[in-house]
Amino acid sequence: MSKKTEIVQKLLKKIAPRAPLPKPLKEGTLLEQGMLVVLVRHMSQDKAESVLAKLKKAFPDWNEMRVAQTQEIAAQVQTGTRKATYEECAPWMAAMRDAREWLQEVYQKTHGFDLEFMKEDQPAASKLVTQMPFLGLSGGSFLLWLSTGKQLPVHSALVRVLDRLGLISRTASPKKARDLIEPLVPEGMDLSFTTVFGEVADRWCLQTKPTCHECPLVDDCPYGKKAFQEWKVQQARLEAQRQREAARRAVFEKKEAAKRAREEARLAKKAAAEAAKVAKEKARLAKIEAKRKEVEQRAKKRAEAAQKKAAAEAQAAARKAALAAKAKAAKDKSAKKAKPAAKKSKARPTKPAKAAAKPKTRPKKAVKRK
């Protein structure tokens, strides 16, 4: 056993496939074999074969199943009709969704459902299996293995992984690749060899961006070790950058907090000054108002005093007038009493008396005219 074969055996033990591969159908097309690969991800081999038989019977045209609803397909498996409740279909839903997805992938890549060309055209078959992510390279290797009459399945992804592992040199020629790979494969392990390394290609050893830091084979892979080192350096650089960024952000946030605090203090001071100004203005207005009220009060008191004085004067004048009127009335009364007495004593007034009643100047005027 060569050193490389020993390494291969060691590497094969490190990878556990995510899903088992089925035993090939005794009779069946490559499309049906592919569907079996998908179904055994959800159920046992026997059950998968039974479900496949039901599907073949229910959908003689695979395109009919491709365009059917998942629940319809599950109902066919559960009840043999296209009608069933969701609860009845539930156990089959995930598997039927994957079965339909497989048909969809085949249809998209080949515009049909016939994969038998893979038996005739090995380069096209190898290319096709690398373009079916839903089936995966593990399942694709299984189909290639069947299509070549159970020979070692070789495809470009397998060549890529083995090249990176340092087990072969990369080549574009399938024949040359087969010649390089075959001596590495342990006796009777053709299929498990390609499915395991197909799994590595599917999960970690991607064509453009392999995730070597997660790959279980990194310690035994020259390419992976180098890529892992670069990844670690890059991570350290990113971590340093993250820390610098965090420090820069912390400084910035501190500055911003100080700026905010200064601004808040300034606004508080301004608000306090405004409040003091408003209070001062209020006090000034209150003082003016108090003074105005005091002046009003004084004026009111003065007006009331003047009113009282005027009322007292009016009262005094009224009293005086009343007294005068009373006195006049008394005088008039006494004068009236005196007049009848005089009439009685001098019924006819004498001439001298009349003369006496006339103005004294009249005789003098008569003298001047003479």
User: Where does this chain bind ligand SF4 (CB under 6 A)?
Assistant: 161, 164-165, 200, 204-205, 210, 212, 215, 217-218, 221, 223-224, 227
Residue 199 C-beta: closest distance to ligand SF4, Å: 11
Gyration radius from the chain CA atoms? 64
Residue 223 C-beta: closest distance to ligand SF4, Å: 4
Whichever of 103 and 221 has its CB closer to ligand SF4, that residue is: 221
Q: Which phi and psi angles does 358 have, rounded to 5°?
A: -80, 160
Helices 136-147 & 122-129, crossing angle to 10 degrees?
160
Tokens standing for residue 69 = 């609803």
Tokens standing for residue 362 = 């009249």
Distance CA 166, CA 1 (A): 17
Whichever of 106 and 217 has its CB closer to ligand SF4, that residue is: 217
- Check residue 136 and give left, alpha or beta (phi > 0: left; psi -120 to 50: alpha): left
Whichever of 92 and 197 has its CB closer to ligand SF4, that residue is: 197
Whichever of 68 and 201 has its CB closer to ligand SF4, that residue is: 201
Residue 245 C-beta: closest distance to ligand SF4, Å: 29
Whichever of 102 and 204 has its CB closer to ligand SF4, that residue is: 204
Residue listed under structure tokens 């070692």: 152
Q: What is the DSSP string of 300-312?
A: HHHHHHHHHHHHH
Q: Which whole-number Å values give the CA distances from 43 to 46, 50, 87, 91, 224, in the listed order? A: 8, 11, 19, 11, 35
Q: Which phi and psi angles does 161 have, rounded to 5°?
A: -65, -45
Residue 93 C-beta: closest distance to ligand SF4, Å: 34
Q: Which amino acid type is present at position 73?
A: I
Residue 11 C-beta: closest distance to ligand SF4, Å: 9
Whichever of 58 and 154 has its CB closer to ligand SF4, that residue is: 154
Is residue 145 a contact partner of residue 158, using CB atoms and an 8 Å limit? Answer: no
Whichever of 8 and 227 has its CB closer to ligand SF4, that residue is: 227
Whichever of 95 and 162 has its CB closer to ligand SF4, that residue is: 162
Residue 137 C-beta: closest distance to ligand SF4, Å: 13
Tokens standing for residue 3 = 């050193």
> Nearest to ligand SF4 by Cβ — which residue?
224
Question: Degrees (nearest 5) of the Cα angle 138, 139, 143?
Answer: 120
Whichever of 89 and 161 has its CB closer to ligand SF4, that residue is: 161
Is residue 4 a contact partner of residue 167, using CB atoms and an 8 Å limit? Answer: yes
Closest by CA to 77, choosing from 98, 63, 107, is 98
Residue 57 C-beta: closest distance to ligand SF4, Å: 43
Q: Which amino acid type is present at position 101?
A: E
What one-character DSSP code corresponds to residue 187?
A: T
**What length does the chain have?**
370
Residue 2 C-beta: closest distance to ligand SF4, Å: 20
Residue 230 C-beta: closest distance to ligand SF4, Å: 11
